[in-house]
Amino acid sequence: MGKNLMKSPKTQNKMNREDFPILTQQVYNRPLVYLDNAATTQKPQVVIDALQHYYETINSNIHRGVHYLSQLATNEFEAARRCVQQFINAAHDYEIIFTRGATEAINLVAASFGRTYIQRGDEIIISEMEHHSNIVPWQFLCEDRGAVLRVIPISDEGMLDMEAYTELFTEKTKIVAVSHVSNTLGTINDVAEIVRIAHGHGVPVMLDGAQAVAHEPVDVQALDCDFYCFSGHKMYAPMGVGVMYGKERWLNEMKPYQGGGEMISSVTFEKTTYNDLPFKFEAGTPAVGDVIGLRIAIEYMQSIGVERIRDYETELLHYGMERLSQIEGIRFIGTAPHKAAVISFLLGSSHPYDVGVLLDHQGVAVRTGHHCTQPIMSHYGIPGTARASLALYSSKEDIDRLAEALLKAKSMLL
């Protein structure tokens, strides 16, 4: 025992679309062009195999078992924790808390940090470009505690107004929670600077990394953020698993999130004491197979190289913006100079939903709507956008197919 039983992916030096079986499908008799990666990415064969292997050979509940399979599953689960630690360069493996996704991770921070530190009148800074997952949990907290939400405005390019940000701090500011990369605008925020400014006021920062980890190398120690949250399913791993990274000093002080098995040290009806990190924040049975799948997905990305993925997607983004800007009547929402591979747009006066349906019928999958960022839509005074979001298996051919399908949609709509 001790050695990893799950097969690690082999090193490869290019993006291999063939690794993703779902992409070989046809939809409406056309080869599938999947451009909805900000919603969820597809899974490589190695991750699918890992899940099957787990359920065929290892499946067992972890940590409390003396028996053989339970120990195997525990070893694999803890190996995954060390893999995530190394992936985001956390100082300790027990700073990695497994959750069901970014949403649960953010709810955990808001609830536990809130119960521990937030008092009536305290202030929490978020931004106008946040996903609802990074707005609503803080609103819950504000309602419960009588705290106040302060919002960093965005410019029309889709960038945070950093001057306004610096002016939001008061003695009452207790935490800043902002996205690393916007799922709607694609903007990559200068999160190191955001952290530096907040720390200058003695305020901790939580970063929502849901749209960053699959596209940008992330080093939580270099960023010096206090919390970093993300989902596995947006980075080639199964659905149902995510990560909340927190600095040890906060996690030690913070009250637990959920109560249940595993998170306790002892329970009597009079008093319960809590387990050590990371288990204090992991109540109940986790998604063991999915956590192991997350490790394989990380290793898969590393077998290509996260910098290489970033550079490839950036080149593709530029190609895409260039190609689509040739279509008369297209309007991009989110034009920051430092962007991840997300292209949000409107086509003339047509409704994004109609555009999405017409693209779909040509085999091109994009997302339409407000993308769980209604305040961004209010900022621009629009009902929604169509959004094409790229991944490591996206190609120039995909962009060409999108452009052709858009021209056809335009001829039908406008």
Note the residues at the interface with ligand PLP (CB under 6 A).
101-103, 131, 133-134, 179, 183, 208, 210-211, 231, 233
CB of 133 to ligand PLP, least distance (A): 4
378 Ramachandran zone, left/alpha/beta (phi>0; psi -120 to 50): alpha
CB of 372 to ligand PLP, least distance (A): 6
Buried residues in 384-395 as b, exposed as e (16+ CB within 10 A): bbbbbbbbbbbe
Q: Which residue, 179 or 385, is less far from ligand PLP as judged by CB?
A: 179
- Number of other residues whose CB lies within 10 A of the CB of residue 354: 15
N-to-C CA span, the chain: 64
User: Measured from the CB of residue 108, what is the shortest distance to ligand PLP in angstroms?
Assistant: 11
The helix (run of H) or strand (run of E) holding residue 343 is strand 342-347
Of residues 229 and 309, the one with the C-beta less far from ligand PLP: 229
Minimum distance of ligand PLP from residue 144's CB (angstroms): 21
Contact, 283 vs 138, CB < 8 A?
A: no
* Closer by beta carbon to ligand PLP, 85 or else 133: 133
Catalytic residue among 83, 142, 225, 372: 372
| Residue number, 179 or 394, with CB nearest to ligand PLP | 179
Cβ neighbours around 44 below 10 Å, total: 25
CA–CA gap between residue 291 and residue 288 (Å, rounded) = 5
Please answer whether residues 132 and 372 qualify as being in contact, where contact means their C-beta atoms are separated by less than 8 angstroms.
Answer: yes
Which CB sits closer to ligand PLP, 233 or 379?
233
Strands 242-246 and 96-99, sheet pairing: antiparallel
The answer to whether residue 372 is catalytic is yes
Q: How far is the CB of 169 from ligand PLP (least distance, A)?
A: 23
Catalytic residues: 372
